Amino acid sequence: MSTGNNGYLVGSNLEKILRAGMFAVTAELGPPQSADPEVIRQKARLLKGNCDAVNITDNQTAIVRMSSIGSGAIVVQEGLEPVIQMTCRDRNRLAIQSDLLAAYALGMRNLLCLTGDHQTFGNHPTAKNVFDIDSIQLIQMVVNLRDQRVFQCGDPLKGPEPRFFVGAAASPFADPVAYRPYRLAKKVKAGANFIQTQLIYDVEAFERFMTRVRELGIHEQAYILAGVGPLKSPAMARYMKESVPGILVPDAIIERMEKAGEPWAGKKKEELTKEDRKARAAAWQEEGIKICIELIQQIRQIKGVAGVHIMAIEWEEAVKPIVEGAGLYPRPIIRTNEAEPLAAA
Amino acid sequence: MIIAEQKKLSEITALLGDASKVLVIGCGTCVTVCFAGGSREAAILAASLRMSTQLAGNGKQVADVTVQRQCEWEYLDQIAEQVKEADILLSLGCGIGVQAIAEHFPDKWVVPGLNTSFLGLPVEQGIWSERCAACGDCILGLTGGICPIARCSKSLLNGPCGGSEAGHCEVSKDIPCAWQLIYDRLSSLGKVEMLYELQPPKNWQKARDGGPRKITREDLLLGEKED
């Protein structure tokens, strides 16, 4: 039984970085809508060395993709540490536990517990959903597998337990906003070790959220990683602001993105050559990356923020310049096997 | 009550196939109140079927009758004669009514004229909304009388998820977020602390997940008990 982890709960790279008090960087890798392992390998190579661990999404936006755990096994082969995302939409408590036993056996050590987007958003809207348990109950279940060595039903495990560094999501600006810090507190009470937030563009609003989080002492019980992501175009910024629940995009950021495309502004699509459009996209992307770097620098100053989670959706190439630009490169290598005392202790 | 809505005429016609004598059976309880399968709807549907099949050149004889409740044997006994005359029975009851007819008249073919939708109530004239999922283990005492099993799109016990925005669910602007409603109600009643408690996984065995359900009340059974 390997409960001895030199003082670490799990001993994953992500846990070691956070326990050492270093500002952590996680990124995101979206598996392909195919059985192609090369897509995973290529993305893993783009991210390796630029983050401490990488989230592997679980049928995100309810679109069928290669499974998080299957993709995670490939990522492990590539020498990058995965954070397995697990939603409650597609699996009941039996399937979740059995998949997590396999994930641990395959070398995965970090887990993010999510409710999951509703299936009506995805490409199988006529599917039946599961939602046997919710994300908070999922946290409790995996913490009990690790610390009590029992399945959800209470039966003991018959051998080594799966030991995951357990994460949860927080959406600081979703409604009801006043309740959000308390819901986060519930996740920490359930046993979450780290938190990754929804995308933050409004730093002032996030500061207000963090003030409440600190008042509740949540930052001393779990490591909070702020979600950031580079914008690709003004249209993407507007879409996030208007259509994605829980994302606030200040007008100043939208204006900056628009300004980046100013040399090509006022022209109709057919007036722009292919080269023009390419140059405009590059200008937008450059500005998007610049904004993301500035957001990281501002967010880093907020007390209680232990790292950033960079969500460069289908744009893994952007992670390296963001991490470099934010002064977070190279990523530290923790050589010691002995854990520092728990920050929470 | 049980809320239902009528199937399209084309689907009903297809279900009737080549049967020539049709008995449309309305129900005087839930589906009458939600204007889906009462005596009025049964008469209108019967007339529509007479006309449409006549126009299609395969005119059917269509009669209609409405019972107080299709889900009780004694009311079904009252229409035994009309049932005998028919080739096919078209039930405008809920799914329970259709099955009660099938069980009570084993030699008759019965088809449904309604889609049974949910357990709910009319929130205003012409609008019905779901309220109960019949999960077998009521938790309304924990949530201020607002059911997250029936009214949260993800049936969360520790909601709301990150998809709650401006009072509505991520699934549709037409769906109020049940957890926003719960939060507002508990806040206004000074009981918001109840939402700080972790709710454990639900025992779904008492819901449909435990298999088809049955309740036996020994105190109400008639006849002699076997030793």
pLDDT single digits (tens) A306-317 = 999 999 989 999
Chain B residues in contact with A179 by the CB 8 A cut-off are 160, 183, 192, 195
Give the count of domains, chain B: 2
Q: Examine the domain organization and report whether B94 and B177 are in the same domain.
A: no
Q: What residue of B is the nearest CA neighbor of A184?
A: B196
* pLDDT above 60 for A3: no
Residues B14, B96, single domain; the answer is yes
Residue B222 counted as domain residue: no
pLDDT band at A204 (very low <50, low <70, confident <90, very high): very high
Query: Are both B51 and B81 inside the same structural domain?
Result: yes
Say if residue B157 is in the same domain as residue B108.
Answer: no
Distance from CA of B193 to the nearest CA of A (A): 10
B106 and B7 co-located in one domain: yes
B163, B179, B158, B149: which is closest to A134 by C-alpha? B158
Report the CATH fold assignment for A13-233+299-325. Answer: TIM Barrel (3.20.20)
**Do B37 and B83 fall into the same domain?**
yes
Q: Which residues pair with A56 in a beta bridge?
A: A29, A84
Distance of residue B179 Cα from the nearest chain A Cα, in angstroms: 9
**Considering the entire predicted model, what is its pTM?**
0.95
A282 within 8 A of A258, measured Cβ to Cβ: no
Q: Are residues B152 and B202 in the same domain?
A: yes
> A118 vs B160: CB contact, 8 Å cut-off?
no
* Residue pair A17/A24 in contact by the 8 Å Cβ criterion: yes
Name the residue of chain A whose CA is nearest to B207's CA: A132
Q: How confident is the model at residue B227, as a pLDDT?
A: 53
Closest CB from B159, B162, B200 relative to A198 = B162
Last-in-domain residue among B117, B142, B160: B117
Long-range (24+ apart) CB contacts under 8 A made by B121-126 are: B121/B1, B122/B33, B122/B34
| Same domain as B107, residue B199 | no
Predicted confidence (pLDDT) per residue in A59-71, tens digit: 999 999 999 999 9
Average pLDDT, chain A: 95
Q: Of the candidates A4, A334, A342, A280, which has an alpha carbon nearest to the alpha carbon of residue A163?
A: A4
Contact B183 A179 (CB under 8 A): yes
At CB < 8 Å, which residues of chain A contact B?
Answer: 88-89, 93, 115-118, 120-121, 129, 131-137, 140-141, 152, 169, 171, 174-176, 179, 182-183, 185-186, 189-190, 198, 245-246
Residue A118 has its nearest CB partner, among B166, B170, B202, at B170
The interface pTM score, or ipTM, of the predicted complex is 0.94
Tell me, yes or no, whether B154 and B111 share the same domain. Answer: no
Domain containing B155 equals 134-210
| Stretches in chain B below the pLDDT threshold 50 | none
Distance linking the first and last C-alpha atoms of chain A: 25
> Which chain B residues are within 8 Å of A140, Cβ to Cβ?
198, 200
The verdict on B59 and B158 lying in the same domain is no
